[in-house]
Structure 1
Amino acid sequence: MPTFEQIRQWLNIQLFNNTLRDYSVALVTLVGLILIFALVKKLTVVRLRRFAKKTVSDLDDFIAELVNKIGFPSFVVISLYIATQPLHLEKTLESIIKYLFVVVITFRAVTLLQQIAAYGVAKSYQKARPDDPAAQTVVKNLTAALRWAIWALGLVFVLDNLGINISALVAGLGIGGIAVAMASQAILGDAFSALSIFVDKPFQVGDFIIVGDFMGTVEYIGLKTTRVRSLGGEQLIFSNTDLTSSRIKNYKRMYERRVLFNIGVIYQTSSEQVKKIPFLVQEVINKIEGIRLDRVHFASFGDFSLNYEIVYYVLSPDYNVYMDKQQAINFALKDVFEKEGIEFAYPTQTLFVTKDS
């Protein structure tokens, strides 16, 4: 059995600029720190989950999941970095451990920050607009933008700690950087337009809109494009920049629909009947539920007809409801005019022939 003096001599043996005692202390520190980190994590998660069961808020559940996602590899790398600090390692090995530590810490911080950002955006937006059908799309796009920004900052931090001069790297891009900036100009324009749509809310998912000669129901609002399902069934894709610079008709925001239509009767209609027609039309429209009459006027003398202009309101924005009401009016007017002996006009030409004596 080795004596204490022999063990002390063994521990003082030099190996790669460190004694075996130094390596032993580093190993014990490494294992001890890993166990401590794992134990602290387990106890923290258990207590947080136990506390979360007693509360209504999901914030404590979120924090518990954040802590629970800190993995074993992170404990190993952090413990390795701390345990090897007293050792005199070769520059290459020391740099590898340092860079590994920086990368792992940055990765863990970035993932933590993006999860916090996603949670914060979702909670704040849903609290402000709980009934907004576009909330999920907004949260998804804003979270994606924040994720890219956080990862970009993390990459800059890692490169800086690796000894890479970021300023020189950016300056070295030169014309290539300008080309990339010009190429990304349209993308950034669409992204800002998407932000404008989210803030101003000219339309939402589920709204029926008309843009120029195109119409349909909004299905998706993204950072670059908005997708609309047309009446024919095909999907229309608009860039957000085009949408924000166009005149948009949003029929979902309509509370009631104003309808103007015209009817014409033949010139042979008697003056008494001509004066009676506005009252007949009023009587017909007032009997139909869900609409409100605005006016009926004998508007003009046409080429082949006496023209009446009728304006009424449908008390529903639904297009099918409007067509049902218009059809009911047309049926009723046809019946009433037949009973009164009033004829609708249609394009005709009357030739008057006079005979000279």
Structure 2
Amino acid sequence: MNYIILANPVADWLIALAAMVAVTIGLDAFKSIVARRLGAGGARTEAGTHTLLHDIAAATLRSTKLVVLGFVGLYVGASLLTLPAKADLFIGRFAITALLIQVALWGDTGLRTWLRVTRAQRSSEDPDRVTSSAAITFLVRVALWAIVALMVLDNLGVNITTLVASLGIGGIAIALAVQSILGDLFASLSIVLDKPFVVGDFIIVDKMLGTVEKIGLKTTRVRSLGGEQIVFSNNDLLKSRIQNLRRMASRRVVFGFGVSHRTPEPLLRALPALLEEIVRAQPQVRFDRAHLSGLAAPSFNYEVVYYVDNTDYTIYMDIQQEIYLRIVALLQAQDVALALPVQTVQLTREARPHDSAQAGNDADASLGKAA
């Protein structure tokens, strides 16, 4: 015990080793106990479900690495010894570096847990929030790791002022080289913030239509009615005209038909009221108007306009089908025929040269007989 190793007695080394082990084990045990209590406390909430705060705190504590706790224990044990200045500086810097990395891991785990819980709880009732959360979480994670990386380099003695300036100049060059990618990235942020559509919306872009499955940093993916996945560049997507059918409050329906021109005038005058009665009889429908809209050669044309207060396409088609069937039944009951396309073709025979000569000869013969 009286031996001296690196200017410290063996007893001091043993005490420092015991302190390092005790601090490491103690911190690890404390982490496990608190994380377990947080998980149990979250399970006993009044609503019977885990609260978001408990989930984040428990997951964050569980992400604590034993290696980091070992560096903290090493730092505590080294403080009990008399070491050279360089050794003290080396141990201190590595302990701080380990803590900074652990802080980044805590933040990263907390953000990912928040995003996971948000998706699980709000994906069906609030898809807008899920879309925004994913983009915001990614940006915050990138910023967190960038800041921690700069702090680690500064702690290790690197001149980050020069580094940041160099990164700024290099960033401009990189931005020019990948401007299309950056355009899609900013378009993604625009989609998230402005929300022209969110995950789950049914959209029409030009002649393509489908349900939005994912809004990524570069592309947006849409599942078409045929089953295939359509991938749009975010930048190109925002330049297109987008129809969002999910946000349609009601559907305006316009249809027309023609009746035979033999239909008597009193019945033509009565038809708009009869059509209104048919439309108003349908559920979830608001009648707008019905008029005799045109006097074409083969028919008298009618136009009917109404609104369906339900955006479901199947319900709209069921209502439209019922209206059509009732109109057919009405016309049959009134003995009115639907107008059919009529085309009249008049055939004429064209006179030919030899036919004219023959006609002249016949006329001369007739005159000779008469003389």
TM-score (norm 1): 0.79
Residue 194 of structure 1 contacts residue 221 of structure 1 at CA under 8 Å; is this kept in 2? Answer: yes
Which residue of the other structure, out of 150, 153, 159, is the alignment partner of 1:165? 159
Instruction: Tell me how far 1:341 sits from its aligned partner.
Output: 2.8
Does the CA contact (< 8 Å) of 2:65 and 2:102 recur in 1? no
Residues 1:88 and 2:78 aligned together: no
> Does 2:13 correspond to 1:23?
yes
Structure 2: how far apart are the matches of 1:284 and 1:149? Answer: 62
Pair 49,217 (structure 1): closer, same or farther in 2 beyond 3 Å: closer
Which of 198, 201, 207 is matched with 1:207 structurally?
Answer: 201
Please say if residues 99 and 162 of structure 1, whose CA atoms lie closer than 8 Å, have aligned partners that are also in contact: yes
Structure 1 residue 95: Cα displacement: 6.1
Distance 1:50 1:269 in 2: 80
Give how far 1:251 is off. Answer: 1.6
2:108 corresponds to which residue?
A: 114
What CA deviation, in whole Å up to 9, does each residue of 1:52-94 have, x standing for no partner? 6765473356434533443332221112123324443484x66
Q: What secondary structure is seen at the aligned counterpart in 2 of 1:209?
A: strand
- Residues 46 and 216 (structure 1), Cα distance of their counterparts in 2 relative to 1, 3 Å cut: closer
Q: How does 1:275-286 map to 2 (within 5 A)?
A: 275-286=269-280
Pairwise CA distance, 1:117: 4.0
Q: CA deviation at 1:325?
A: 1.7
Superposed CA RMSD in Å reads: 3.5
Choose from 300, 305, 311 the match for 1:311.
Answer: 305
The equivalent of 2:362 in structure 1 is none
In the alignment, the residues of structure 2 paired with residue 224 and residue 161 of structure 1 have an alpha-carbon distance, to the nearest angstrom, of 35
Deviations 1:132-185 (A, max 9, x none): 034344333322221121111111111222222233334446875333222454
- Residue by residue over 1:216-275, the C-alpha shift from the partner in whole angstroms, topping out at 9 and shown as x without a partner, is 112222333222111222212223333444332222222321111111123333323322
| CA deviation profile, 1:313-349 (whole Å, cap 9, x unmatched) | 2232111222222222222222222332322223322
* Residue identity in the other structure for 1:299: S
**Equivalent residue for 2:66?**
72
| 2:324 pairs with one of 325, 330, 334 | 330
Residues 220 and 228 in structure 1, CA contact (< 8 A), matched pair in contact too: yes
2: distance between equivalents of 1:47 and 1:176?
Answer: 48
Q: In 1, distance between residues paired with 2:99 and 2:84?
A: 21
Aligned 8 A contact 1:126 1:135 in 2: no
Q: Does 1:217 align with 2:211?
A: yes
Q: 1:94 to 1:139 in 2, by over 3 A?
A: same
Indicate the larger mover: 52-61 or 337-346: 52-61
Residue in 1 aligned with 2:133?
A: 139
Cα distance change, pair 261–283 in 1 and its aligned pair in 2 (3 A): same
Q: Supply the distance in 1 between the matched residues of 2:283 and 2:167 (Cα, whole angstroms).
A: 70
Distance in 2 separating the partners of 1:335 and 1:34: 87
Give the whole-Å Cα distance in 1 for the aligned partners of 2:271 and 2:23: 95
Q: Which residue of 1 aligns with 2:259?
A: 265
Residue pair 2:122, 2:129 contacting (<8 A) in 1 also:
no
Structure-2 change in CA distance of 1:341 and 1:138 (3 Å): same
Secondary structure at 1:233 match in 2:
coil
Which residue number corresponds to residue 3 of structure 1? Answer: none
Which amino acid is the alignment partner of residue 13 of structure 2?
A: Y
Spell out, residue by residue over 1:169-208, the C-alpha distance to the aligned partner (whole angstroms, 9 max, x if none).
3444687533322245444443443344334333232222
For residue 84 of structure 1, give the secondary structure of its aligned residue in structure 2: helix
Q: Separation in 2 of the partners of 1:276 and 1:351? A: 34
Query: Could you say if the C-alpha distance between residues 199 and 123 of structure 1 is closer, same or farther in structure 2, counting changes exceeding 3 Å?
Result: farther
In structure 1, runs of 5+ residues without a counterpart are 1-6
Q: Distance in 1 between matches of 2:195 and 2:167?
A: 38
Distance in 2 separating the partners of 1:49 and 1:176: 46
> Is the Cα–Cα contact under 8 Å of residues 121 and 142 in structure 1 kept in the other structure?
no
CA distance in 2, matches of 1:130, 1:196: 22
Question: Highest CA radius of gyration, 1 or 2?
Answer: 2
How many pairs does the alignment contain? 342
| Further displaced range: 142-151 or 338-347 | 338-347
Q: Is the 8 A contact 1:122 1:139 kept in 2?
A: no
> Which residue pairs with 1:349 in the alignment?
343
Contact 2:132 2:193 in 1 (8 A): no
- TM-score normalized with structure 2 length: 0.77
Identity %: 38
Asked if structure 1 preserves the Cα contact closer than 8 Å seen for 2:63 and 2:109, the reply is no
Bigger CA drift: 209-218 or 150-159? 209-218
Q: Which residue of the other structure, out of 136, 151, 154, is the alignment partner of 2:148?
A: 154
Shift in Å, 1:112: 1.6
